[in-house]
Amino acid sequence: MRASNWTEAFLSGFLHPALLSSEDLAWQPLRYIDAHKHPFYQLDYFYAGTGTVGAANRSYTVVPGDLFIFNPGEFHEFKAAAKAPLRGISHKFRRGPGPRTARLPNHLANLARLPAPQQRELHELLHRGTVELNGHRKGHAEAAATLLRQFFILLARYWDEFERHGGEERGGRSGAVQLVLDYIRRNYHQPLALRDLGRVAGLHPRYLCQRFSAEMGAPPMDVLARERVEVAKNLLVRTRLPIKQIGAQVGYPDIYHFSKRFKALAGASPNRYREANQYQPVSATPAS
């Protein structure tokens, strides 16, 4: 499902959500939850830590900024990295009355791609919903649902603007190239070869390379390397994972190969990049 489709689904089906429960994992980070399901929607936003999420027979590598949603009746599980437990905000809710909403994709977006003020605003709305719902003051359920509704509206608006203004420009791409690009973004951590991408597109690897290069300005394996390095940058500055472990998580189990490719694309070694880009996490405490 394209992003424009899920943002439209939000606006058509989730404008009147009923927030059932909410939790901010600021002080008790998530380490492991076995596969389970429930009859309502669950929205999870991770602002720190790394790990994996399993849902709908697919595994996702989690990095800070990732936003997930799990549909009713859909099995999902969580596993945090040993030295970087997941911290985030989780909302369980039911959609309100309105048009029937299609099942949403599990990984909606990475909010770290948005401008910092928008990231903070969306984070604050989710956190305030948690505080409101668990504060049990008069009208707390309605107030929390209103904050979640505002989050959905702004998320849809900001993400559509992000895509329209160069975030993930899709204009002019053929279906085969877009298919491969989406596959790379979902499976960058896997050991991929050009022949694997050719099978995804249903094209001979040589022809795929020519077509992909013409539309994207670079061959698919170069785009794969850039995707891996971008994720590695995020992990380097937002976690304390060892560099070898980060390399393995983004598809480079050989630390020498990882360091060489990272330096070629980022202009600095992983160690130097981490030292020069210290991350200050968004505060999970309510504003005073």
Reported as a single tens digit per residue, the pLDDT across 45-72 is 998 888 889 998 888 888 788 899 999 9
3-state helix, strand, coil in the chain (%, to 5): 50, 20, 35
| Structure confidence at residue 128 (pLDDT) | 93
* pTM greater than 0.75: no
Q: For the domain that residue 206 is a member of, what is the CATH number? A: 1.10.10.60
d(C-alpha 29, C-alpha 141), whole Å: 25
The answer to whether residues 12 and 133 belong to one domain is yes
**Residue 286 falls within a domain, yes or no?**
no
**Residue 283 falls within a domain, yes or no?**
no
| Structure confidence at residue 117 (pLDDT) | 85
Q: How confident is the model at residue 278 (pLDDT cuts 50, 70, 90)?
A: low
Q: For the domain that residue 146 is a member of, what is the CATH number? A: 2.60.120.280
Which of 24-33, 140-149, 196-205 tops mean pLDDT? 140-149
Identify the residue whose tokens are 């990984």. 107
Sequence-distant (6+) residues with CB within 8 A of 169 are 163
Domain end (from 134, 164, 194): 164
Candidate from 164-173, 199-208, 227-236 with smallest mean pLDDT:
164-173
The answer to whether residues 215 and 244 belong to one domain is yes
Q: Using CB atoms within 10 A of its CB, is residue 80 exposed (0-12), middle (13-18) or buried (19+)?
A: buried
Domain end (from 102, 136, 164): 164
d(C-alpha 140, C-alpha 133), whole Å: 5
The answer to whether residues 114 and 148 belong to one domain is yes
Closest CA to 129 of 23, 268, 288: 23
The answer to whether residues 154 and 23 belong to one domain is yes
**Residue 282 falls within a domain, yes or no?**
no
| Structure confidence at residue 224 (pLDDT) | 94
d(C-alpha 77, C-alpha 86), whole Å: 13
Q: What is the DSSP letter of 86?
A: B
The answer to whether residues 196 and 115 belong to one domain is no
Q: How confident is the model at residue 95 (pLDDT cuts 50, 70, 90)?
A: confident
The answer to whether residues 90 and 31 belong to one domain is yes
The answer to whether residues 158 and 203 belong to one domain is no
The answer to whether residues 133 and 250 belong to one domain is no
d(C-alpha 3, C-alpha 160), whole Å: 8
**Residue 270 falls within a domain, yes or no?**
yes
Q: How confident is the model at residue 142 (pLDDT cuts 50, 70, 90)?
A: very high
Mean pLDDT of 272-282: 70
For residue 10, what are its two tokens?
């939000």
The answer to whether residues 70 and 130 belong to one domain is yes
pLDDT, one tens digit per residue, over 243-276 is 999 999 999 999 999 999 999 999 999 999 998 8
Candidate from 55-69, 72-86, 165-179 with smallest mean pLDDT:
165-179
The answer to whether residues 86 and 109 belong to one domain is yes
The answer to whether residues 235 and 211 belong to one domain is yes
Strand partners, 58: 55
User: Between 165 and 83, whose confidence is greater?
Assistant: 83
pLDDT, one tens digit per residue, over 151-165 is 999 998 888 887 776
Closest CA to 118 of 170, 147, 161, 88: 161
**Residue 14 falls within a domain, yes or no?**
yes
Domain end (from 116, 144, 164): 164
Domain count, the chain: 2
> What range does the domain containing 11 cover?
3-164
202: left (phi over 0), alpha (psi -120 to 50) or beta: left
d(C-alpha 187, C-alpha 138), whole Å: 46
Angle CA(270)–CA(183)–CA(202) in degrees, nearest 5? 135
The answer to whether residues 147 and 258 belong to one domain is no
